[in-house]
Each structure stands twice: as C-alpha cells, then as structure tokens.
Chains A and B, each alone.
Chain A
Amino acid sequence: MDSKTIIMEDHPNCVCSPSDAVKIKAQDINFFYGKQQALKNINLDVLANKITAIIGPSGCGKSTFIRLLNRMHELVVNITLTGRIYLDGQDILGPCVDPVEIRRRIGMVFQKPNPFPKNIFENISYGLEVNGIKNKEFIEGRVIESLKKAALWDEVKDRLHDSALKLSGGQQQRLCIARCLAVKPEVLLFDEPCASLDPISTRKIEELILELKKDYAIVIVTHNMQQAARVSDYTGFFLLGELIEFDKTEKIFKAPKDQRTEDYITGRFG
C-alpha cells in the first residue's frame, strides 16, 4: 500500500481522484526501435475498474505503448526502453520479474482475432494448462465460466469440440477474450479489438468490455473515436510518440485543452 501512495504523489499527470486505485502506472517511458524514438516521456495511469482508451493516428505509438504494459515488446529485437511500469506498485520491468507471470496477470486481446487452430474448448483450457492446472473438473468449470463472461456461451455450448476457426470473426474475438479471462488476469489490454469486425460484432464487443469493467482494469487502443467516447472513462491522445493529453473521456471530447487534440477529435487530421 505504501508504494502505491508514494507513486500517486510524485506523478505529474495524475488526474484520478484519491479514491480511484491505480492499477498500472507508466512513468517516464521512452522507447526506441533501433535509433528511432517511438515513445517520448510517457506518463500514464491505468485505474482499476475503469476503461482507459488510447487514441491517435496510425503510427503514433499506441500499440507500442500497450505492448510495453505486458512486456510483449521484448519479442522484438534491437529495442531500448527507459522508464518504469508499475503493476500494483511493483516494477514489472525489473530484472527479477518474470515476463511470463506478468503476461498471465495482464491479458491481451489483439487486433485480428487469433484463435488457436484447436477446438473451442481447447482454446480456452490452453491458458490453464500452460499455467500448470491439471484438474479436469476445474478446467471445465473455468472454461464454461469464461465463455459465459465473454457472452459466447449460448452460441457455442453445443459445439465446444468444433474447430474455433469455424466461428465468425466476432465470435472468434469473443473467444479470444474468453481465453484471456480463463487465466484470471487483473488487467485486460485490447489492441484495436474491433478493427476487423462488422458494426454488430463491434457493438457486442463494446458491451462486453463495459461489462468486464466491473472486474478488471481495461486499456483499449482504438482508431475509432466514437468507440473511445462510448466505452472509456479516461482517454489518452497520442501523437508522434507523445502523450499529448490525458484526461477524463468527457473532458477530452468536450473540452480538450490542447489544440492538437481538438484538431484530431474533430477530424481535421488523422
């Protein structure tokens, strides 16, 4: 608890009321691909039980940023990262921290639905198996629970042993969400989850994300500003690797402080 309070105090961009718990705190993040700087001095808080949207034009560093949060950036070679990222006050970039454990605690849903070429049941039980859970009854219970939470259960309950690749795009994306939920993460990262989906599937995913807010801290990267306005509590606007503005979503969309934010959300560029 102590570390949490300290972090709250020395944070320049803190927009949260004291009652909101900071789940993830990114501090002075600078990130380079080779020599090219992709993120410049980012400070951003993700609050528990809130949805944080990250918007900005293509190539502004949105996806790069959320990939840092669960250390997926380490899969790429020739990168440099400075700064600190705290999860519940613990520095997750530290040398003693196991990225595998961090990735279990911080789930990620990707831009394109990427179910495993396995059946529906196996897709969800996989995360449990790799985390060492062997009890079949437990796994079965968790699979059902996860599918229900991801609002997919009714559509697939009679065909759990069909290939996941037979599902529609929207169903596949909800399966990917269910797959994340099964390993009981604390945070969910969504990297443009609706980019390849039709409007109806998009609405379902958005409803689901709003529902999941009860239990998780959520970060969603999106191209779609209406989506950010619809679902998020806080919004950060990225431009050319900088966090231009970070505030309550309402404020960002109704009364942005920075001219560049206003230009972007009114569609003058991007």
Chain B
Amino acid sequence: MRKDIAQKIGFSFISLCMFTTVMFLFAIIYFIGSRGIKVISWEFLTQAPRNAMTAGGVAPAIVGTLYLTLGAVVFALPLGVACAIYLNEYSPKSYIVNIIRLSINNLAGVPSVVFGLFGLAVFVKFFGFGVSILSGSLALGILVLPVIISASQEALLAVPYSLREASLALGATKWQTIRKIVLPAALPGILTGVILSIGRVAGETAPILFTAAAFYLKGYPKSIFSEVMALPYHIYALMTEGAHPEQQTAIAYGCCLILLCLVLFMSAIAIFIRQRQRSHYYG
C-alpha cells in the first residue's frame, strides 16, 4: 500500500513539472501569437519599413535572417562534421586531443557577445569583409560550431562499431568506411545538430550586432558583402529606439511571431530531410 502511494506521489510530481513546462511554452506562443498576429499582413511580410519604422513591413529583416542562418550553417556544418570525424575516428587518444575536446566544450560556454566582438575584430576589420552577411555568418558559424561538433560526435558514436569492422573486412579503406558507411548512418543525428543550430543562430542578436546587422535598410542585400537587417536585431531596435513606442512595440511582436515561424519552418525542412534519411536506411 505504501509503495503504491509513493508511486502516485512520484507520478503526480512528474506530471506537475511536465505541465508547468508545457504551460510556459503555450504561454509564450499565446502571448506572442495574439499580439503579433494583429500586425501581420501581406504588406508586413513583403514590404520594407516606412515612416521611421512605424509602418510598412519587415521583409528585409526576414530575408536577412534567412541569409545569416543559412550562411552560418554552410560555414559551420562542414567544419564541425570534419572536426567530429577527426576527433572520433582518426585522433589517437592523447593528451592534446583531450585539450581539443575541452576547448570545444568551453567554446560552447562563451557568451555570444564575445563572438560579436571577435567577429568585428577579425572578420570585419582584419579580413576586411566589413559589416556584411559574410562577417555575420562567420561569427554565427563559430558560435554554433560546438553544437554541431558535439551533435556529430554523438551521431558518429552511435554508429555501431560492427559496421566499421564489416566494411574494413571487405577491403575498404578507413576513409571509404567513414565516407560510405559511417557518415550516411550518422547523418540523421548530424541533422539534429543542424536543427538545434538553426534555432540558436536565427535568434542570436549579439554576434551580428557589430558584424552584419543594420538598423534600417530600404532594400534587400545585394551580395554577401552587404549589410543586412535581421529580425532579432530589428526587434531590439524597435523596443529601444525611435519616437513611436506604441506602434513600434506592436511591430516588434509581429517580428517575434515571424521569427518563431521562421525557425519552425527551417527546422521542419531539416526534420523532413532527417526522416527521409532514416527511412531510407532503416525503412
């Protein structure tokens, strides 16, 4: 009888925690959704801001965020996967490798504004890329490298050792084994890392503050060397600057809603690819 009660209390507690968590999530969606939806219109999605950001739309910011996110993933994915392969499949277990692992884990804990300043010093000034999509993507890319590396490492670890053995025993080289057996099998896990990074990158403000983001632009970026507007920075600008706080706040909520949907949309694409990969291999 007492065991029974303990179990009931335990389960009740766990359910309570779960519902609290879910409640927060729904609260966010509700507040952002209900306030944001008011300003959403076709014009809002397709026009540039007008009248000191109190009218018009936020299309350049949407496009900017898309570019920056894609750019960051394009930079970070090959680097991160290569790094994970090196650490998991090639590196001898040594002192130096342990230091590399430790550094990567620490990189994950570096505050994002540090990446912003680093990007300013290195990409904007030193390499002379200027305040641009390129500089911003690189700064964001470095920011998510640890996420992609650790997700890729997990994914590689999850590939059974017996598959590597089977491949090597057929006369495949280590490289062929990694490229044709291990990587394809790890791809769904690696894509999970990409999904996480998309969410992270799309919402970051600090790293693009000095490297990519413009306060206000009339049109769309022309090349990777152009400045861009970005949703998170636009929200920040709307809430802290300007002379018409009321209209601006409404627009900021609209931007939040779009940002949420954008992350959801990009994640959905990645999830779709991941599912297709999985069913291809394990169908």
Interface, chain A (partner B; CB < 8 A)? 70, 72, 75, 77, 100-101, 103-105, 107-108, 110, 112, 114-118, 126-127, 129-131, 162-163, 165-166, 176, 179-180, 183
Contact = CB atoms under 8 A, between A and B. Distances in A.
**B166, B167, B184: most-surrounded residue (chain A CB, <10 A):** B166
Q: 10 closest A-B pairs (Cβ-Cβ)? A: A104-B171, A117-B281, A130-B172, A114-B162, A127-B170, A108-B169, A130-B176, A114-B166, A103-B171, A163-B283
**Chain B interface size, under 10 / 10 to 19 / 20 to 34 / 35 or more:** 20 to 34
Given A112-B162, A114-B160, A114-B165, A163 B173 contact: no
A100 B172 contact: yes
A72 B163 contact: no
Given A118-B281, A130-B167, A130-B180, A100 B173 contact: yes
A116 B165 contact: no
Interface string B162-194: 111111111111001000110011000000000
Given A75-B168, A127-B171, 19 more contacts: A70-B169, A72-B169, A75-B164, A103-B170, A105-B171, A107-B169, A110-B162, A110-B165, A110-B166, A114-B160, A114-B166, A116-B166, A116-B167, A126-B180, A129-B180, A163-B282, A165-B282, A180-B169, A183-B171
Nearest to B281: A117
Contacts, number: 80
Contacts of B184: 117-118
A237 B185 CA distance: 39
A70 to B, nearest CB: 7
Nearest to B278: A117
A77 B165 contact: no
Interface in B199-232: none
A51 to B, nearest CB: 19
A6 to B, nearest CB: 29
B109 interface: no
Contacts of B168: 72, 75, 100, 103
Interface string B28-54: 000000000000000000000000000
Contacts of B172: 100, 126-127, 130
Contacts of A130: 167, 170-173, 176, 180
A98 to B, nearest CB: 9
Contacts of B283: 162-163, 166
B93 interface: yes
Nearest to B277: A117
B107 to A, nearest CB: 28
Contacts of B171: 100-101, 103-105, 127, 130-131, 183
Contacts of B163: 114, 116-117
Nearest to B169: A108
Given A77-B93, A117-B185, A104 B162 contact: no
